[in-house]
Amino acid sequence: MSEIITSSLIELGQWFRPYQYQCALAIIATILVIFGNDLNNVVKQLVRKQHFVIRTIIFIVVCAVGYGLITVWLTELLSLQLAKIPNLYIIPVVSVIFIGLGLYAQKQRHI
């Protein structure tokens, strides 16, 4: 029985590898959705006394450039880290990450 589970996990891990980058992107996007409001609130607090035009420019830079760079850079970094996980463990690890994010989102009432 254990050998069947092990071989199935290895096969699933091999199947998963071509989709590793997309999975990393999904994880990073989920994290940004969960914590994006908190990041925006921090930025609001830092620039709240600035002129409207300055606040608008900073908001555009943070959202367009900041979130874009964070997404690209962290996705690549996470994808490289996922590549280090053996095929046997990649599916359980990714599943635990998504379950953990889902539980955290539920606890914070994002869902």
Where b means 16+ CB within 10 Å and e means fewer, 49-87 reads eeeeeebeebeeebeeeeeeebeeebbeebbeebeeeee
Q: How far is CA 2 from the centre of its chain?
A: 32
Q: Residue 11 in contact with residue 89, Cβ under 8 Å? A: no
Which DSSP string do the residues of 45-106 spell out, in sequence order?
A: HHHTTS-HHHHHHHHHIIIIIIHHHHHHHHHHHHHHHHHTS-HHHHHHHHHHHHHHHHHHHH
Supply the pTM of this predicted model: 0.86
d(CA 17, CA 34): 26
DSSP symbol at 51: -
Tokens in use for 45? 């607090």
pLDDT tens sequence for the chain (111 residues)? 699 999 999 999 999 999 999 999 999 999 999 998 888 888 889 888 889 999 889 888 888 888 999 999 999 999 999 999 999 999 999 999 999 999 999 998 876
